[in-house]
Structure formats: C-alpha cells, structure tokens
Amino acid sequence: MHSDAANFQLNSHLTTLASIHKIHHTLHRLKVGIMHVVLKDLCFHFLLFTSLACCSKAMPPRKKRRPSAGDDMSAKKSRQDSVFRKHETSQIREEEMFSSKRCLEWFYEYAGCDDVVGPEGMEKFCEDIGVEPENVVMLVLAWKLDAQSMGYFTLQEWLRGMGSLQCDSTERLRNSLDYLRSVLNDSTSFKLIYRYAFDFHSTTRLNSFEQIQKSHLDLNTAKCMLGLLLGKTWPLFPVFNQFLEQSKYKVINKDQWCNVLEFSRTINLDLSNYDEDGAWPVLLDEFVEWYKERQMS
C-alpha cells in the first residue's frame, strides 16, 4: 500500500511537470524572455523537490544495527572487568582490616585444642615471628596483651592485645615489631613496662585456671631482667650487677625493683647527689657504700 501511494503521488507530480513544460514551450514561441527564465528555474526546483520527496518516501526506514557477536563479547567483558575490579577492591579492603576470625585461627595454630598458648606453642610462635624468647620485644608484646604469667598467652589476652595492635597474622605482627621496640623510648611507657616486668616474672602458672604470684623475684631472674631493661641505657648497670653477684641477696622485692629504676634515672654516675638519709631501700645504700669503697681503693 505504501508503494501504491508513492506511485500515485509521483504520477501526479509528473502530470503537473508536463503542464509546466507545455506552458514553457508556448511562452517560448511567444518569445517572452523573462517568463522563460522564471519558468525554467521553477521547473528545475520543482523537479528537484519531487525527486527528493519520492526518494524519501520510497526508501524504507533505517533499522537499528544489531550488535554483533564481537560487540556482545566486548560488552560482557567490560561488565566482568567492572565486577572483578569491585570484588578486588572489596577484597583488598577486607584484607587491610583486622579480622577477629583470622586472629582466632592464628591463636589456635599455637594453642592447639587448648585456650592457652603454652611453652611449646610459645616457642613456635617466637620462631615464626623471628624473635628470641629472651628478646625485650617479647616483654613489650606481653605487656600489650596484658599477659598475667610468663610463657603463657590466654585466648582472652591474645584477642584483646592483638586487637589493640590490629594484628591478626604472623606477617602483620612482624611488621609491628619496630613499633613495639619504639615503645621503650617513651619514658612513661617504659616505666609501666618495667613495673609490669616484675609482676609478669613473679607469677607462676599452676594450670589453665590457677596461678600464684610471689612478692619477689629470684636474684638470677632479676639480674636478667635488669640487664634486658637497663643494660643498654644505664652506664652503672655492669657495676650494679657485680654488686648483686657478690651480695648476700637471694631475691629482689618489688620496692627494691622499682627504686632501682628511679635510682638509674636520678642519681649521677659519680653518685654525688645520692642522699644516704633519703628514702632509698637498704639495698641501694649498700650498693653506694660498696661502689665508693671500690673507687677509693
């Protein structure tokens, strides 16, 4: 039906065009010059318009190009890449965040079926993080975990302490070792760690549920801990250590322990500002007397 309508319109235009040509030839014979030019131009534009109109009606409407298989694959790949990038970003963010689940699984690598990491698990733990059990950084870590007895980490201590450090894997803890060492450079934190060390090493664990805390440290443990904490920062430590070795003392109590730190921080190396009538424990009075005698001899 569309084709018939187009043909009818085309025939109508051609009939009109024939009439115009007839008038043109008649006027030509009458030598009407101006009208000849006008009608000739009119004829040309009418013919051009008719041709364009017919072509536009006869030409079928343009269909949308169906995407090829290659286009489909490209679009699909683009969508997949977008989903992958979102998943990858989400995975990176998840890996960057502390995970209690990972921390719990990490704990049981050393605790086994118990809720406490014992001496055997602790040995493997130290080996994995690349730190000797006697290293001072292990004391700082125990302080961060608020561990109650030496050689043991309970589940509650582990989750609380590692959570505060944002460590849920061996790798993350390794990356935090420098930070743990730097804590010792802060005088306030160092004093807390120093006092904590006495309680930590004077506590003996009987089993998973019971532990006892003594009011003193045996002398050998005290010397080891003093060397660990003060050996590199207190120039008089070697002399003080010699004094302890030849002294009558077999244990160190907490008051003596805390005063040794205060002594190392406030008393000059030549002991010139030491007040024998001050509130120092007898242990330090005897050390000063012993040291001065050595100096005189």
| Range 117-132 average pLDDT | 96
Amino acid (1-letter code) at residue 24: H
Which residues lie across from 211 on neighbouring strands? 205
SS3 assignment, position 99: coil
What digits encode the pLDDT tens for the residues 21-33? 455 444 444 444 4
The single-letter DSSP state of residue 78 is H
Quote the radius of gyration of the chain (alpha carbons, Å): 48
Long-range residue pairs from 169-172, CB within 8 A, at least 24 positions apart, any chain: 169/102, 169/106, 170/106, 170/128, 170/129
The two structure tokens encoding residue 66 = 């169906």
What is the distance between the alpha carbons of residues 153 and 160, in angstroms, rounded to a whole number? 11
The single-letter DSSP state of residue 117 is E
Q: Which position has the higher pLDDT, 203 or 2?
A: 203
- List, in sequence order, every beta strand (DSSP E) within 139-287: 153-154, 203-205, 211-213, 216-218, 251-253
User: pTM for this one?
Assistant: 0.67
Q: Which position has the higher pLDDT, 281 or 17?
A: 281
> What percentage of the chain reaches a pLDDT higher than 90?
57
CB atoms within 10 A of CB 99: 13
| Range 126-139 average pLDDT | 96
Q: Which residues contact 89 (CB under 8 A, 6 or more apart)?
A: none
HSE-CB for 244 with a 13 A CA cutoff: 21
What digits encode the pLDDT tens for the residues 226-269? 999 999 999 999 999 999 999 999 999 999 999 999 999 999 99
Which residues lie across from 117 on neighbouring strands? 153
pLDDT classification of 19: cutoffs 50, 70, 90: low
pLDDT at 277: 87
What digits encode the pLDDT tens for the residues 224-233? 999 999 999 9
Answer yes or no: is pLDDT of 50 > 50. Answer: no
Amino acid (1-letter code) at residue 106: W
CB 257 within 8 A of CB 218: no
